[in-house]
Chain A
């Protein structure tokens, strides 16, 4: 795909556009659940973080966790969205073994957050994705079908954990945009500390709505919803597979049924879960155990005043203040940990070198070792020391790479490495002159050739001098003195 082209699927001279909307379920970062005081810690023994409320014992009542409300408001502000001063918790009624109440407490008609937007940095420029709404709801428990051959087991640790459902408008048009959208959403929430965005632990999952239409068409086609996809890669695979399935149907002159589908990751295809006719009637109604949620302007203002600098603003600052390219800035702000690391490094060192070293050497190592920047084997402090060694001429960029390789092993101090290994750059003009003299003496034939006009040989002398210095000679100095000697 070239940079400026749209994502289109081709069929015999026809081009189909893919329309995508996402319902992202993001787990609210909170010590305790949405309506009870049980812990939300991941990975505990089954059914050890379950209160009487979570297990829906008779007479138990939900009591709202105000921290979760504040987290939702914070996220709403981060999405530049309208905060609704009055919202209502509804009951979504259905039976399932891991849904102890027989209903999920959610927000249906009146969500806590209304319309907002997210800006995507695409290769061909920025794109705005509309946010339809954000609402709070309880997570269900987990049914485990593969431990006991005859029974399904239920773990209620997750039952009642607060989720934010963030519904986008159908503004996404390609798997790439979905990738960038999810990462941006995740980034904003991680900046805000409202969701850790950990997809392996299920903190971020999405229902993906997909429809297709001929390019140029303005009406939407019939959409299908692919439930509960838990990685960006699978979302992209599911979209491609589902869009092609729908196009195949249209090409055959068939209709698309509006239905809920599941993505089979092994077979890379979606399959029908239930049709529109079989859709649940959730019998939503306001939960009479909870009063409508009223939020004061004071609370909104208080939360607003606590909002940290978000990726878009940070990016602008990096460009304006540090003269970074938009591309560099986008990379550095994409994750709060990365931008924190960057800002830590440049506290005491050169911005340009820091940018190059972080996006180059450091990212390569992280990629190779599959680590997050928070797990970086080299600390910001030691990286800034290394950069300063380059900047003040103590070592060359080339030597720095050798030093960096050693630093990875236990975050060693570059000053100590340089000292112990004697890697300090030779910057004494006298010493350099001596070794250059030696090179000239040993290569009198080449000197003659050079003087007769073979300019290209200059590089040869630089190489010889560098070799003579065991790689430690200051390159600028070698250049300077060599020129003087040979041309003089």
Chain B
């Protein structure tokens, strides 16, 4: 048996079911490794003591019918967890301990999983490098001083560094797929309405979706099966029959039509990304898929549209953090002064920037020119995909326009940071499912990802295509454990 922490979810689950490993052994192995991995700064809050207790409890009367029997899992610190501090990476929620559980995490615990702790992320999920977190940046295990992507940077780093078997992140414009791409891991953003948003700290309500982040496609299908559910507590949750994604997982994609959108060949795209995409197309053909050139004509407008819609919703969603009811408060002489001080001190620069953009685009006199126009363009982008999907079953693109960059490299240039999301943002705007799988490396040996985009509710299809490609690509992450310190 290989080392516990390097095992996939599938292996760990099998080993528990076959009684080769106990939940306690697994939980302690991950905790032990986490104690030696503090340099990566993946945890905002750990739940180690309680996790060990719960693993013992599981072992004392193991229910092996569970889909995640006694499996310890760390989650992004955007999911509210009952009794465990939830910060959203922000000072303003630094002391916030929910009395309730998000539906998605509840789904994990209901299938036997155990909470290991809360993973670092960009503040309120706003960022592409995990550098906006109040709790400091996260190191990408791929290389020192390299960003792990964002906003689910703690999550991607934790999976890549074997600090959690799998995790869940949230994706508003690429926050699962981009960090997965940067760390050589798998990340899936489900169809909007697939996973409940109840109990997830909101960034942009019409775009936010939770999704699995894993080492491989099979684990991804197993985790999606657990977290996707209809929830009456979320009015945008959709009641449809969900697949047994892991059972129905298949490498047979013969005859599948895969679209290649010409608009994703952006200016100044590195050759290695171009090459990666070509390789992906070749592998898909090898698997018997049919490659079809398609056009998504409004792609260019996706990023500006996103940077109107998302900040607009965020500016309103974040109004509740006002120092009155919970979280951080900076006292003032009167209500207005308290608001100003609390929000000035409690939010970081990127969050403030987006609140300002959002407030501006919703202001009377600007609403029609920005917000309303953006909503119309959003419909056009959606229609592009509808048209494309009348000809193809899925779409293949690169996940990101570059590999992971150095910490600090883009912090003073928000626009170049925003450009990271160029391939992922349109999928959120259209509410579609998209998955990033590791597909190659650049000249620095940093991972690069390919994205498979599907029709609404067609997660099974993009999982199957990814499963087939994964097999052909045979990607191996080259991580040297450079950060490990001896546990004292």
- A associates with B: yes
- Contacts A57-B98, A97-B324, A97-B335 known; A281 to B197 CB distance under 8 Å? no
Assess the B364–A285 pair: CB atoms within 8 A: no
Q: Which of A63, A97, A283 contacts B362 (CB 8 A)?
A: A283
CB under 8 Å from chain A, chain B span 330-386: 335, 339, 359, 362-364, 367, 371
Q: Quick check: B320 and A61 within 8 Å, CB to CB?
A: no
Report the bound CA distance from A411 to B460 in whole Å: 74
With A and B bound together, what is the CA distance between A59 and B105 in angstroms?
13
Q: How large is the interface on B (under 10, 10 to 19, 20 to 34, 35 or more residues)?
A: 35 or more
**Residue from B88, B96, B233 with most neighbouring chain A CB atoms (10 Å):** B233
Report the separation of the CA atoms of residues A103 and B79 in the bound assembly, to the nearest whole angstrom: 23
Asked whether A59 lies within 8 Å of B200 as measured between CB atoms, the reply is yes
**A259 → B minimal CB distance (Å):** 17
In the complex the two chains form, is A288's CB within 8 Å of B313's CB?
Answer: yes
Q: Are B316 and A63 in contact, CB atoms less than 8 angstroms apart?
A: no
- Which residue of chain A has its CB nearest to the CB of B371? A285
B198 near A56 (CB under 8 angstroms)? no
Whether the pair A58, B316 counts as a contact (CB closer than 8 A) is no
Tell yes or no: A48 within 8 A of B by CB.
Answer: no
**Which residues between 79 and 128 of chain B lie within 8 Å of chain A, taking CB atoms?**
79-80, 86, 88, 93, 96, 98-100, 102
User: Is A64 interfacial (CB-CB < 8 Å)?
Assistant: yes
Contact B236 A102 (CB under 8 A): no
Q: Does B234 contact A (CB under 8 A)?
A: yes
Residues on A with beta carbons closer than 8 Å to the beta carbon of B326: 57
Cβ contact within 8 Å between A285 and B197:
no
B52 contacts A by Cβ under 8 Å = no
Does chain A have a CB within 8 A of B205?
A: yes
Q: Do A281 and B364 form a contact, CB below 8 Å, given A58-B320, A97-B324, A291-B235? A: yes
Main secondary structure of the interface of A (DSSP, over half): loop
B363 touches A283 (CB 8 A): yes
Residues of B within 8 A of A103 (CB): 316, 319
* B176 close to chain A: CB less than 8 A: no
Cross-chain contact A55 with B325 (CB below 8 angstroms):
yes
**Chain B binding surface, main DSSP class:** loop
**Contact between chains at A61 and B319 (CB < 8 Å):** no
Minimum CB distance partner of B200 in chain A: A59
Q: Is the CB of A285 within 8 A of B202?
A: no
Taking a contact as CB atoms under 8 Å apart, the answer to whether B312 and A285 are in contact is yes
A95 to B319 Cα, complex, angstroms: 7
Check B324 against A100 for contact (C-beta < 8 Å): yes
Q: Say yes or no: B233 contacts A63, CB within 8 Å.
A: yes
A59 to B102, CA, bound (A): 8
Closest to B313 in A: A288
A100 CA to B234 CA in the complex, in Å? 19
Instruction: Please pick, from B236, B315, B320, the residue contacting A100 in the complex, using a CB distance under 8 A.
Output: B320
| Residues 197-253 of B at the A interface (beta carbon under 8 Å) | 197-202, 204-206, 232-236
B360 CB to closest chain A CB (Å) equals 10
Q: Flag if A64 contacts B235 (CB, 8 Å).
A: yes
User: Are B324 and A154 in contact, CB atoms less than 8 angstroms apart?
Assistant: yes
- CB within 8 Å for A56 and B325 given contacts A64-B235, A95-B339: yes
B459 at the interface (CB under 8 A from A): no
List the A side residues contacting B86 at CB < 8 Å: 58
Please measure, in the bound complex, the distance between the C-alpha atom of A96 and the C-alpha atom of B371, giving whole angstroms. 25
- Whether B320 pairs with A101 at a CB distance below 8 angstroms is yes
A93 within 8 A of B: yes
Question: In the assembled complex, how far is the CB of residue B174 from the closest CB belonging to chain A, in whole angstroms?
Answer: 19
Interface membership of A364, Cβ < 8 A: no
Q: Does A299 contact B (CB under 8 A)?
A: no
Q: How distant is the Cα of A347 from the Cα of B102 in the complex, in angstroms?
A: 59
For the complex formed, measure the closest distance between the CB of B184 and the CB atoms of chain A, giving whole angstroms: 30
Given contacts A55-B325, A291-B236, 4 further A-B contacts (CB under 8 A): A103-B316, A284-B362, A285-B316, A288-B236
Q: Which 6 A-B pairs rank lowest in CB-CB distance, beginning with the nearest?
A: A102-B319, A288-B205, A283-B362, A288-B206, A59-B199, A56-B320
What are 17 contact pairs spanning A and B, CB under 8 A? A55-B325, A57-B325, A61-B234, A63-B235, A91-B316, A95-B319, A96-B335, A100-B324, A101-B320, A283-B359, A283-B364, A283-B367, A285-B312, A288-B205, A289-B235, A290-B235, A291-B236
